[in-house]
């Protein structure tokens, strides 16, 4: 039974000849098991009756032993009659009863279950795009490094206006697994909520200087006929400074109140690295916890909610984007891809490869835990304490690059590429993309002026959110928060990483394929056999118990020297003393085989004579006076 189900555990249902099912085969095994146990119990219980009759017992006990060998009902009756005076006999009877319930346990042993089965063969292709080298040939550099390909520009816009795009994959069944990790160049992001760095300044202005020194907390604190302004300023580092200013003139009309400020950025000494600042400035509604766009009250009922931009009335954030190397494994289930990030170079700085003219060609990064020899790194006087190391190279010897992109055919460089340890991004694109992106998202977004609202009654900011469409979308038309800014950069990271992975360069300087797809295993849905191993414990235990019972009976019979007559009824006829049986008994009938041979020489006849009813007459066939009917 175990040998049959074990090879098929969690495997598709077996297809056997004649449509034989696993349950049918288990039923046959159960029948064989019960038959084998029945034979053992019949022989052993029958043999134990002779131990029972080693003392004077009533003849009726012979009938009870005989019934016990025939089934559970007789076994229960014998248990009751003997009152556990013979534990070994009781054990045999208990096994006889338990054997009745083997069938349901065996049938519960297996059940069908949904599973995935690996698809093998040439058509079983499961791939995901990845690359070690990113060079966009349509994105070139001019004096301002601001030329990017139309396709890359489209990917950038889509990232802002829609959720991030997952990389395309090949998995025809919709169920694939990529157990082995794979690496690729990507774009990483990070965002921080820097609201605590916002400086808010509130002032009143008046026609004369008597009220100019007021320091109000809100517009209602300003003198009558005076103006009111609220400034929000935020800076990050030495180069990024953002500010908003809301003004209310003496007639109570807003003068272009800017509630949300420009997204500014600047490049820094990391390829692809660009840094953004976002400021949602304070308004006259900030203290009242009122939505900037709808005048609805915010519910600020938790510590996390209290720190939200809507509850505190203003907010600021800084975000960065930079190239990185990500290491994943992945699963595709029901057509949905889930990539799991295993490791990442994050914001590790990259090195630079310069051509013979001293111009930067590529930015490079090495993974020290790949299969390339660490000696290559040591030759460059690099430390191997960190997994990610910048790779710097100056090309000094002229060579014919042919159609390649100014890369040297040096042995260590080629070795790093071939072993998948070196990652390259074009220096052109790493300069043009940040500058282009910075110009695209720099700008102002504000709420339009509200008409004729006095300082005393004004609780609403405005209804019209103004500014470039790109900036308005980033700020979600005024309904913004740190989570919104973070989600935008997550979309940008996902979409541009997908673009990089699908536009990797195949060959460099005669190296092997640098953008070879990650390979996985394809599975299809099937019905498999699920073995529920606990259910096999009962038939296994019953088999073991019956075996032990048999061995103990054999040992007890040999130790006592009891004849092995088992349940043979011939012993009652051929080995009985008294009642006139001496004439058919002999020394040759001491064993079952001897009794069987002797019984062949004895004739039995049932006749009805006299008032006592039917009688059985036995006589030796050698008796010349015996008449045997034909």
Task: Tell me the two tokens of residue 154.
Answer: 């489209």
Of 512, 543, 566, the position where a domain reaches its end is 566
502 with 167: CB under 8 angstroms? yes
Q: What residues pair up with 280 in beta bridges, in sequence order?
A: 260, 315
User: What pLDDT is attached to residue 568?
Assistant: 79
Verify that 31 and 76 share a domain, yes or no: yes
Q: What is the dihedral of CA 616, 620, 622, 623, to 10 degrees?
A: -60
User: What pLDDT is attached to residue 259?
Assistant: 42
Verify that 605 and 541 share a domain, yes or no: no
Closest CA to 601 of 625, 621, 574, 627: 621
User: What pLDDT is attached to residue 267?
Assistant: 43
* Angle between helix 72-82 and helix 60-68 axes, rounded to 10 deg: 140
Phi, psi of 629 (to 5 degrees): -70, 150
CA angle 135, 139, 143 (to 5 degrees): 120
What distance in Å separates the CA atoms of residue 431 and residue 434, rounded to the nearest whole number?
Answer: 6
The reply to whether 268 falls in a domain is yes
Q: What is the pTM (predicted TM-score) of this model?
A: 0.67
Closest CA to 119 of 173, 179, 170, 169: 173
- Domain ranges, residue 611: 568-630
Cβ neighbours for 542, distance < 8 A, ≥ 6 positions apart: 37, 95, 98, 99, 102
The reply to whether 387 falls in a domain is no
The reply to whether 239 falls in a domain is yes
User: What pLDDT is attached to residue 109?
Assistant: 92
| Tens digit of each residue's pLDDT (9 = 90 or more) over 119-132 | 988 778 899 999 99
The reply to whether 403 falls in a domain is no
User: What pLDDT is attached to residue 401?
Assistant: 43
Q: Would you call 179 exposed, middle or buried from its count of C-beta atoms within 10 A (0-12, 13-18, 19+)? A: exposed
User: What pLDDT is attached to residue 453?
Assistant: 34
481 with 310: CB under 8 angstroms? yes
The reply to whether 54 falls in a domain is yes
Verify that 104 and 46 share a domain, yes or no: yes
Verify that 561 and 474 share a domain, yes or no: no
Verify that 622 and 558 share a domain, yes or no: no
Of 460, 475, 491, the position where a domain reaches its end is 491
The reply to whether 271 falls in a domain is yes
Q: Would you call 350 exposed, middle or buried from its count of C-beta atoms within 10 A (0-12, 13-18, 19+)? A: buried
Strands 351-354 and 393-394: parallel
Q: Would you call 471 exposed, middle or buried from its count of C-beta atoms within 10 A (0-12, 13-18, 19+)? A: buried
The reply to whether 559 falls in a domain is yes
Q: Would you call 611 exposed, middle or buried from its count of C-beta atoms within 10 A (0-12, 13-18, 19+)? A: exposed
Of 459, 491, 523, the position where a domain reaches its end is 491
| Three-state secondary structure of 602-629 | EEEEEEECCCCCEEEEEEECCCCCCCCC
Verify that 623 and 476 share a domain, yes or no: no
Classify 564 as helix, strand or coil: coil
Residues of the chain short of pLDDT 50, as ranges, are: 141-145, 209, 211-213, 252-271, 400-405, 449-463, 579-580, 628-630
Structural domain total, the chain: 3
Neighbours of 379 (CB within 10 A): 10
Within 13 Å and on the Cβ side, how many CA atoms surround 523? 20
Verify that 27 and 80 share a domain, yes or no: yes
The reply to whether 71 falls in a domain is yes
Closest CA to 453 of 254, 207, 209: 254
Verify that 316 and 456 share a domain, yes or no: yes
Whole-angstrom CA distances from 41 to 46, 347, 515 are: 8, 77, 71
Verify that 451 and 316 share a domain, yes or no: yes
Q: What spatial distance separates the first Cα and last Cα of the chain, rounded to whole Å?
A: 51
Verify that 552 and 630 share a domain, yes or no: no
Verify that 545 and 451 share a domain, yes or no: no
User: What pLDDT is attached to residue 218?
Assistant: 61
User: What pLDDT is attached to residue 185?
Assistant: 94
User: What pLDDT is attached to residue 457?
Assistant: 29
Verify that 211 and 253 share a domain, yes or no: yes
Closest CA to 247 of 458, 443, 444, 442: 458
Tell me 244's DSSP state.
E
130 with 183: CB under 8 angstroms? yes
């Amino acid at each position: 039974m175990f040998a049959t189900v074990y090879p098929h555990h969690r495997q598709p249902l077996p297809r056997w000849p004649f449509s034989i099912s696993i349950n049918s085969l288990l039923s046959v095994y159960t029948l064989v098991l019960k038959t084998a146990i029945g034979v053992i119990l019949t022989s052993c219980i029958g043999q134990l009756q002779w131990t029972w009759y080693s003392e004077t017992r009533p003849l009726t006990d012979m009938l009870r032993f005989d019934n016990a060998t025939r089934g559970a009902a007789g076994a229960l009756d014998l248990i009751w009659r003997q009152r556990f005076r013979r534990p070994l006999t009781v054990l045999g009877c208990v096994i006889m009863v338990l054997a009745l319930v083997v069938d349901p346990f065996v049938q519960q042993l297996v059940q069908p279950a949904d599973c995935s089965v690996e698809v093998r063969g040439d058509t079983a292709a499961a791939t995901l795009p990845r690359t070690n080298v990113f060079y966009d040939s349509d994105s070139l550099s001019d004096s301002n490094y601001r030329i990017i390909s139309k396709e890359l520009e489209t990917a950038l816009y889509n990232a802002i206006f829609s959720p991030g795009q997952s990389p395309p994959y090949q998995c025809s069944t919709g169920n694939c697994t990529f157990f082995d990790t794979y690496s690729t160049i990507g774009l990483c992001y990070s965002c921080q909520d820097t609201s605590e760095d916002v400086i808010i300044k509130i002032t009143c202005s008046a026609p004369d200087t008597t009220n100019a020194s007021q320091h109000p907390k809100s517009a209602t604190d300003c003198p009558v006929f005076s103006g009111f302004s609220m400034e929000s300023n935020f800076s990050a580092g030495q180069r990024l400074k953002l500010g908003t200013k809301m003004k209310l003139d003496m007639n109570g009309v807003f003068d272009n109140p800017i509630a949300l400020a420009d997204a500014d950025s600047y490049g820094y000494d990391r390829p692809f690295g660009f840094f953004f600042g976002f400021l949602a400035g304070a308004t006259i509604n900030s203290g009242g916890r009122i939505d900037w766009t709808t005048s609805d009250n915010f519910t600020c009922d938790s510590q996390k909610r209290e720190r939200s931009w809507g509850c505190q009335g203003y907010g600021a954030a800084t975000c960065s984007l930079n190239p990185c190397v990500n290491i994943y494994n992945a699963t595709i289930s029901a057509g949905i891809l889930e990539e799991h990030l295993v490791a990442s170079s994050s914001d590790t700085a990259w090195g630079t490869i310069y051509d013979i003219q001293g111009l930067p060609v590529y930015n490079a990064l090495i993974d020290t835990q790949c299969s390339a020899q660490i000696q290559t790194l040591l030759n460059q006087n690099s430390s191997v304490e960190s997994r990610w190391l910048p790779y710097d190279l100056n090309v000094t010897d002229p060579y014919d690059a042919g159609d390649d992109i100014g890369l040297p055919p040096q042995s260590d460089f080629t070795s790093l590429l071939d072993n998948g340890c070196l990652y390259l991004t074009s220096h052109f694109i790493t300069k043009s993309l940040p500058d282009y992106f910075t110009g695209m998202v720099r700008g102002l977004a504000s709420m339009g002026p509200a008409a004729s609202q006095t300082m005393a009654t004004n609780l609403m900011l405005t209804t019209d959110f103004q500014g470039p469409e790109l900036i308005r979308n980033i700020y979600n038309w005024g309904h913004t928060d740190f989570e919104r800014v973070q989600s935008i950069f997550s979309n940008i990271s996902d979409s541009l990483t997908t673009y990089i992975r699908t536009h990797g360069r195949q060959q460099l300087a005669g190296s092997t394929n640098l953008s070879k797809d990650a390979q996985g295993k394809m599975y299809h849905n099937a019905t498999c056999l699920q073995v529920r191993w606990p259910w096999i414990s009962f038939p296994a235990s019953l088999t073991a118990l019956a075996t032990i019972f048999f061995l103990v009976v054999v040992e007890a019979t040999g130790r006592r020297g009891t004849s092995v007559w088992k349940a043979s009824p011939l012993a009652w006829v051929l080995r009985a003393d008294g009642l006139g049986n001496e004439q058919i008994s002999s020394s040759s009938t001491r064993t079952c085989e001897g009794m069987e041979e002797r019984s062949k020489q004895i004739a039995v006849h049932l006749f009805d004579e006299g008032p006592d009813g039917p009688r059985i007459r036995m006589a030796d066939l050698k008796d010349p006076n015996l008449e045997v009917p034909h």
